[in-house]
Amino acid sequence: MPGMNHPRAWYALRRTLPPWRFDENLAELVRVLPRYRVDEVIVKVDVEEFSHGQPPIELVQGYQNSLFRVKEAMDRLGIVYSINPWITHGHGDRGRDSRSTIPGAQMVVGHDGTRAKSCACSLSKPWRQHIAATWRLYAETGPRVIWVEDDIRTFNHAPVRFGCFCPQHLRRFSQHVGRRVSRTDLVAAILKPGKPHPWRTAWLDMLGEIMIDVARFLARTVHEVDPEISLGLMSSGYHHHCVEGRRWRPFAEALADGRPLYSRAPLGNYSEGSLRGLQYSHASIKGTRHVMPPDTIEQSEVENFTFGPWSNSATFTFLKMAVSFAYGSHGVTMNLFEHSGVPMEAEPQFGRMLADRKPFLEALAAVCQQPGRYRGVRLLHHERAAHVMRLQKGDDYDRLAPDHGPHVEALEALGIPTTCDDESVVSLCGQTVAAMSDDEIRSVLRHGVLIDAVSAGILVERGFGRDTGIRSIASPRPIYDLGPLGAEAFEHEEFGGAPNTYLTTTIGGGAEPRVSAIEPVRSARVISWFVDPDRKRHLPCMFAYENRHRGRVVVQAYDVGSISAQPYCRPLRVRQMQHAMQWLAGNDLPLVVHGDGAWPLAFRKDCDRHIVLGMFNLSLDDWGEVTFDLDGRASRGVDRIHVLDPHGRWRANAGLSTHRSRGRWLVRCDRAVSHQLPLVVLVRRKDA
């Protein structure tokens, strides 16, 4: 797919052609796809409202001839043909009962004893036989890719939330631990508050192994028919898969089975809410890429659900596509139209947008798909985060998943881009640090690290108090348990503060934020204090410390998981956090953005011959000007600087200027940036 002769902004349309309107829908595809500039059609089979649960073999046999016809028609147009069977295990029952479709199949059983009727257990032999039979039929039609839906997982098989605790799974686990274990005993062990019970690790490891085997089974089924077909994997958000012990690399390798592997990262925002939802989209692309093998071909998921312009505007749909290409995806899969056979031209704004925006996306993709790395503050994810997660009494199963959402969102919204690539400044929040080895932690503490209250507590417990500047730390509690601490006094001038400067502590987004009482060592510098209504200082809110290894640490007393980015972010906070992060980096942060607007989503990608800078404006107000503030080295060997225009042409722009200041290189754009189109700047280097 991505290659010299192919479009770089690869459009793959996921389309359902239901049997009762097949001819009409196929004729429309043939007519409009060239006009929409679509490169690939991924045919969805037995979908959503008209899904039969586990589709009967006769149904797939009956439909196979239609698939051959799509393939033939697309071949004639030079459009690639792929398939997306709508289920493997099943997304949810939705009133279906597939127990008579697959006699003897074991269906998924939930942690609370709930039983599915149409979602099958991964250990069930009759289910595997049924899948093998149907998937052979799909493979015979010669698709480039067969996409595996994200229902290849052990959770979210409504009505089951977390599985599978069926007799077969329990038997296997019992054999593993050498004693008979009931569902209730096992679930109690998995959810035991405090230090994790060893059964949790054993259980997650077992689930992980079983799912690798399922992936291998699917790939081999397909490859027995046609070894040239690639498998594609949709996933559910990389952090969620921690709750089923997914081991990404062996899982992906099993599914690839020696062929190129495709990955569909979810972008969320199925229904348009706020532009800020694009923060999740970009984080999902970065995080999913990080866990998948490096040579994976990415086609992100641009989905409009429940379809039509009332659900997603064409503008918002375009922005999801632009985010995908800006963050380096090879293509987009587009699930834009409903599955009942309504013509696509009933909603013509989408097809028009696809055609109109292709040149812009092509130019964006061409520079962002080059090998290189995204720069920013490094985020840490660990696939064993659920293994080490400490639960509180009464916590539900879903608390096993780490959630970096508020953390990433807050940094990005303050104009501090984040990355999963290697960087010297790291941001730690929540319990994920517990999955890291002592050596990994030591290495992080030798550079620059931002630490929240939860991570700080774990580091102290692990014996790293001395290197974090913490003398003592209490567990996080709701802030008003500690007194009437309504404000944060931000007066340290070296970090951007000033006398009588205050930030609100009402930043929990409806709940109280959680805070740890921390006593720093004497040599730590307190950047801000929690104060009472008389402005009296009570507890440090943020402090900076340089340790014996010359590593720099900034500790926040907030449990970042308890804050909400919207009330957290304000102009003072931008100053505070940009100063703090810059101090951590020794004034060498790869990028911060300044300007006169809110909710930036900015990026920098360094490639061999160029740097791409970009900013999406996730607010409805225009930014009047934007400054990309880069480390001084970025200015070396610069030849030309161009801005991408709406038609996909790189333009020298009168509004563009650069200058140096205090060891930094500033690239300033004096032009309005609206939410409708990202600002993209290309810094080309001179030929070596």
Judged by beta carbon, residue 116 or residue 487, the one nearer Zn ion is 116
What is the per-residue binding string for Zn ion in 295-314, x denoting contact by CB under 5 A? --------------------
Using the contact rule CB under 5 A, the part of the chain among 169-177, 183-191, 232-240, 478-486 near Zn ion is 169-177
- As measured in angstroms, the least distance from the Cβ of 163 to Zn ion is 6
C-alpha torsion angle, residues 222, 224, 225, 229 (rounded to 10):
50
Count of residues binding Zn ion (CB under 5 A)? 4
Using the contact rule CB under 5 A, the part of the chain among 121-129, 230-238, 493-501, 673-681 near Zn ion is 121-129
Using the contact rule CB under 5 A, the part of the chain among 95-103, 117-125, 348-356, 560-568 near Zn ion is 117-125
What DSSP state is assigned to residue 103? T
- As measured in angstroms, the least distance from the Cβ of 519 to Zn ion is 49
- As measured in angstroms, the least distance from the Cβ of 106 to Zn ion is 6
Token duo for residue 524: 């730590």
Using the contact rule CB under 5 A, the part of the chain among 116-124, 320-328, 470-478, 568-576 near Zn ion is 116-124
Judged by beta carbon, residue 169 or residue 240, the one nearer Zn ion is 169
Rounded Cα distance between 281 and 283, Å, is 5
Token duo for residue 131: 């899948």
Token duo for residue 445: 């503490």
Instruction: Assign 292 to helix, strand or coil.
Output: coil
**Alpha carbon 540 to chain centroid, angstroms:** 33
The answer to whether 542 and 557 have CB atoms below 8 angstroms apart is yes
What DSSP state is assigned to residue 664? E
What is the per-residue binding string for Zn ion in 149-168, x denoting contact by CB under 5 A? ---------------x-x--
The answer to whether 186 and 198 have CB atoms below 8 angstroms apart is no
Residue showing tokens 């925006």: 357
- As measured in angstroms, the least distance from the Cβ of 122 to Zn ion is 7
Pairing status of strand 514-515 against strand 477-478: antiparallel
Q: In the set 79, 83, 121, 453, which binds Zn ion (CB under 5 A)?
A: 121
Judged by beta carbon, residue 12 or residue 109, the one nearer Zn ion is 109
Judged by beta carbon, residue 15 or residue 169, the one nearer Zn ion is 169
Instruction: Assign 336 to helix, strand or coil.
Output: coil
Judged by beta carbon, residue 123 or residue 377, the one nearer Zn ion is 123
Judged by beta carbon, residue 120 or residue 591, the one nearer Zn ion is 120
**Alpha carbon 666 to chain centroid, angstroms:** 30
Residues 245-284 touching Zn ion, rule: CB under 5 A, are none
Judged by beta carbon, residue 125 or residue 647, the one nearer Zn ion is 125
Span between the terminal Cα atoms of the chain, in Å: 30
What is the per-residue binding string for Zn ion in 37-56, x denoting contact by CB under 5 A? --------------------
- As measured in angstroms, the least distance from the Cβ of 349 to Zn ion is 45
Judged by beta carbon, residue 204 or residue 613, the one nearer Zn ion is 204
- As measured in angstroms, the least distance from the Cβ of 169 to Zn ion is 4
The answer to whether 498 and 491 have CB atoms below 8 angstroms apart is yes
Judged by beta carbon, residue 33 or residue 211, the one nearer Zn ion is 211
Bridge partners (DSSP) of residue 529 are: 489, 540
What is the per-residue binding string for Zn ion in 565-594, x denoting contact by CB under 5 A? ------------------------------
Report the half-sphere exposure of 125 (CA within 13 A, side-chain side): 2
Rounded Cα distance between 323 and 313, Å, is 15
What DSSP state is assigned to residue 395? -
Judged by beta carbon, residue 55 or residue 163, the one nearer Zn ion is 163
Judged by beta carbon, residue 127 or residue 374, the one nearer Zn ion is 127
Nearby residues of 486 by Cβ (< 8 Å), 6 or more positions away: 504, 505, 506, 531, 532, 533
What DSSP state is assigned to residue 566? H
- As measured in angstroms, the least distance from the Cβ of 22 to Zn ion is 36
User: How many other CB atoms are there within 10 angstroms of residue 312's CB atom?
Assistant: 24
- As measured in angstroms, the least distance from the Cβ of 164 to Zn ion is 3
**Alpha carbon 606 to chain centroid, angstroms:** 21
- As measured in angstroms, the least distance from the Cβ of 244 to Zn ion is 12
- As measured in angstroms, the least distance from the Cβ of 238 to Zn ion is 24
* H helix and E strand count, the chain: 17, 35
Judged by beta carbon, residue 121 or residue 408, the one nearer Zn ion is 121
The answer to whether 534 and 486 have CB atoms below 8 angstroms apart is no
- As measured in angstroms, the least distance from the Cβ of 109 to Zn ion is 6
Bridge partners (DSSP) of residue 334 are: 13, 302
Q: In the set 169, 183, 339, 575, which binds Zn ion (CB under 5 A)?
A: 169
- As measured in angstroms, the least distance from the Cβ of 186 to Zn ion is 12
Token duo for residue 611: 């740097």
- Whether omega before 306 lies within 30 degrees of 0, making that bond cis, reads yes
Judged by beta carbon, residue 101 or residue 501, the one nearer Zn ion is 101
Residues 368-407 touching Zn ion, rule: CB under 5 A, are none
- As measured in angstroms, the least distance from the Cβ of 107 to Zn ion is 8
| 89 forms part of the interface with Zn ion (CB under 5 A) | no
Q: Which residues bind Zn ion (CB under 5 A)?
A: 121, 164, 166, 169
